[in-house]
Amino acid sequence: MSRIGKSIIEIPANVTITEKDGLVTVKGPKGELTQQISEGITLKQEDGILTLERPSDSKQHKALHGLYRALIHNMVVGTSEGFTKQLELVGVGYRASHQGNRLDMALGFSHAIVMDLPKEITLDTLSEKGKNPIITLSSHDKQLLGMVAAKIRSFRKPEPYKGKGVRFVGEIVRRKAGKSA
C-alpha cells in the first residue's frame, strides 16, 4: 500500500482542503466531505499538490498511508467531478421508476420494492422499448454511492442460468449450462 500513499493528489482550482485535529474537510462545487484520519499521517499542501507522509515504515503506518491517500483522492474527485453508477434490470417484466429520490422497482416478486435513497444521491431511470431498464445513480460520495448500488443489486442478484437480475452495466455474469437431457 505504501506506493499508493507516496503518489501525489492534484487539487483542482475549485476545491479546497483543510485539516484540523485529524479531520480532513474537502469542499468543492459538488459538495463537502469529511474524513477522520489517524495520528501520525500528516498532510502537506503546496502549489495545488497534496502529499501524505507517515511517521515510520511500520506495516500499520504503510497500510494507513495508502488508505488515507485513496480516501482523500476519492473525496477530491467526488467534490469536483462526482461519481456515477449504472444498474441494469435484466428479466421479463422487470421495471424501474422514480419519483424524486424514491425508487420503485418490480423485480418479479409479489409486491413492488420501494426504496428511499439518501439526499446526497441523485437518481434517474431510463426505460426504452426493447431494452433493459437502466437505473443511474450519481453522487459526490463514492462510498455511499457504492453501498446504495450494492443494496439495490442485492434485491435480485443475477442468477447463473438465465442471467436474470439486477447487475451493473458492463458486469459479466458467468453462465452455467442447464441440465442435459
Contact 157, 80 (CB under 8 A): no
Extents of the domains making up the chain: 2-80, 83-168
User: Looking at the domain covering 2-80, what would its CATH class be?
Assistant: alpha beta
pLDDT tens-digit map of 104-163: 999 999 999 999 999 999 999 999 999 999 999 999 999 999 999 999 999 999 999 998
Confidence category of residue 3, pLDDT binned at 50, 70, 90: confident
- What CATH number belongs to 83-168? 3.90.930.12
Report pTM.
0.89
Confidence category of residue 2, pLDDT binned at 50, 70, 90: low
Q: How far is CA 136 from CA 26, 62, 87, in A?
A: 25, 36, 6
CATH topology identical between 2-80 and 83-168 = yes
Confidence category of residue 1, pLDDT binned at 50, 70, 90: very low
